[in-house]
Structure 1
Amino acid sequence: MSTSMQTISAAATDKGRVTTYKKFIKSACNSTTYPKICYKALSPNAPAIETDPYKLCNVALSVTLNATYKASSTIVSLSKMKGLSSSEKQIIGLCAELSDYAIDDLQRSLKALANLQGSEYKAGEMSDLNTWVSGALTYEYTCTDELEGQKVRKVVNNTINKRVLYLAKLTSNCLALFKLLD
């Protein structure tokens, strides 16, 4: 077989594998509350995930953690807007603090997930994992709840809601994906 034929054959095999991996991700995401968001967030990582539920959950948590860092950064930049009212400053400050808490919980979750595989204490590790990710989700919703009924500028309201509600969807999807580990 010529070198160019080997290259074509290898590319076809790799493409077939990636297709299999993406089907696995799609199937797993169909068990979540937000399957389209799940698939869009995870499918670019198909070669790293393969068909491994642990890798899938690890990537889902990592994507969620990265999105939380970005949301936190956006919220902090909102605090630098000129002319913020005292209630806007308070809400932005609270959401920044809650984002930090969510980041801590998601980092703990990644460690618990790393300890889970091959652990003698799988039930305990799963409990910790679910507790911390649920905690992150609670922090996210607490932030958006603070906006309700408050007089804040549209840009503040929309920016926080857009970022944090997207995070909540990613976080919710993580909880659903953890069921693959049972």
Structure 2
Amino acid sequence: YSHTLTPLTSLWLSDLQTLKKQCHTLSQMGMASPFSILGTTLLLLFLSFSAAAIKAQDDIVRSSCVHASYPKLCLQTLSTCSDHACKTPRDLAQAAVKVSLSRARRLSSYLAQVPTTGANKRQQAALRDCAEQISDTVDDLSKTLSELKHLGRRGEEFQWQMSNAQTWVSAALTNEDTCLDGIPYVDDKKIKSDVRRKIKNVAKVTSNALYMINRLDESRSRRDP
């Protein structure tokens, strides 16, 4: 993934190269005034610094995702994060939890709308239990995100908050696994396939979120022995 650029980074670099070529062409044709050359130079400097900043954000996302549980999915879901303010492990951890929480909420809404009319009691029970587990997952991830947003700066407070975050995300993963365990009891093949696919997707991004939280814990521990 080391040579992969996000669309925004590629666009900035493309615009920068285009502007450089236009400036060079005007200069050769003798059409550039001192003021236009100065303005273009300043704009080139601005674009260069901006492109460098965006590339640095790309780099932290790539270097963080490469060892995640699901690297490709990590890059895909955090690509928009590199376009904004993901400059630290804390930013990445929050972004990863937001992705997991968003997908868990969508899954919870989906499960609430799955038709159970005509289903046998075993299927109804499995889907009801699954919906409860995913609802708990949403709660766990919501608490995790809140904790990450209010991390303390000192050792003991930070470690306590990180322990809470790790516990809640681990519980979310357990809930998702428990939900999957009940899927064999769903007789409707389409519902079974859809639910299994959606749960696995949420579980994957949750696993990546836990990795980012653990990485944040390790990075802070190195600074606060």
**So what's the TM-score if we normalise by structure 2?**
0.73
| Deviation (angstroms), 1:47 | 3.0
1:156 aligns with 2:191: yes
Say which structure, 1 or 2, has more relative contact order (CA 8 Å, 6+ apart). 1
| Deviation (angstroms), 1:8 | 5.2
Backbone CA RMSD of aligned residues: 1.9
> Contact 2:173 / 2:206 at 8 angstroms: preserved in 1?
yes
Q: Any stretches of 5+ residues in structure 2 without a counterpart? A: 1-34, 219-225
How far, CA to CA, are the matches of 2:64 and 2:186 in structure 1?
41
> Contact 2:134 / 2:176 at 8 angstroms: preserved in 1?
yes
Cα distance 1:83–1:53, how it changes in 2: closer, same or farther (>3 A)?
A: same
1:125 aligns with 2:125: no
Aligned partner of 2:201: which letter? Answer: Y
Aligned partner of 2:55: which letter? Answer: T
Structure number, greater radius of gyration: 2
> Contact 1:31 / 1:177 at 8 angstroms: preserved in 2?
no
Q: Any stretches of 5+ residues in structure 1 without a counterpart? A: none
How far, CA to CA, are the matches of 1:12 and 1:159 in structure 2?
46
How far, CA to CA, are the matches of 1:9 and 1:86 in structure 2?
67
1:174 aligns with 2:197: no
- The one of 6, 9, 19 equivalent to 2:55 is 19
State the secondary structure of the residue aligned to 2:187: coil
How far, CA to CA, are the matches of 2:107 and 2:146 in structure 1?
22
How far, CA to CA, are the matches of 1:44 and 1:107 in structure 2?
21
> Contact 1:88 / 1:152 at 8 angstroms: preserved in 2?
yes
**Which shifted more, 5-14 or 160-169?**
5-14
**Which shifted more, 2-11 or 57-66?**
2-11
> Contact 1:106 / 1:133 at 8 angstroms: preserved in 2?
yes
Per-residue CA deviation, residues 88-132 of structure 1 (Å, 9 max, x unaligned), is 221111111111100110011112212324144111111111000
Per-residue CA deviation, residues 47-85 of structure 1 (Å, 9 max, x unaligned), is 33432111110111111100101111111121x355333
Task: Provide the residue aligned with 1:42 in structure 2.
Answer: 78
How far, CA to CA, are the matches of 1:88 and 1:10 in structure 2?
60
> Contact 1:71 / 1:164 at 8 angstroms: preserved in 2?
yes
State the secondary structure of the residue aligned to 1:103: helix
Cα distance 1:19–1:173, how it changes in 2: closer, same or farther (>3 A)?
A: same
Aligned partner of 1:53: which letter? Answer: P
How far, CA to CA, are the matches of 2:49 and 2:123 in structure 1?
54
Task: Provide the residue aligned with 1:87 in structure 2.
Answer: 122
Aligned partner of 2:182: which letter? Answer: E
Q: Percent identity?
A: 27
Task: Provide the residue aligned with 1:72 in structure 2.
Answer: 108
